[in-house]
Amino acid sequence: MNDFKALNQRQKDGFAQQQRWLKQVLAGKLVNCPSCQQTISADRQGELLHLHCCKGCTDVVLTLG
């Protein structure tokens, strides 16, 4: 049972960290990828917002609308 509690806590912490950097990127701030330390860039394609680093280790697509 303790293993599940630790796993849930790590997932919760990871999600919170992603929320923080998403908010920073959307606010126009420069944010580095947690894996490769390259700048995360945002590209809008219609109703999709693509957030990614140049190496591809961070790759998030959000649907706007």
pLDDT at 12: 92
DSSP tag of 57? S
pLDDT at 2: 80
pLDDT at 38: 94
For the sheet with 48-52, list strands across it. 41-45, 48-52, 59-63
pLDDT at 65: 79
Under 8 Å between Cβ of 59 and 52: yes
Confidence (pTM):
0.71
β strands within the chain, DSSP E? 41-45, 48-52, 59-63
Mean pLDDT by 10-residue block, N- to C-terminus, for the chain (65 residues)? Answer: 86 89 90 92 91 91 88
pLDDT at 63: 92
Please calculate the CA angle 43-47-51 and round it to the nearest 5 degrees: 30
Task: Give the HSE-up count for residue 4: Cα atoms under 13 Å, Cβ half-sphere.
Answer: 1
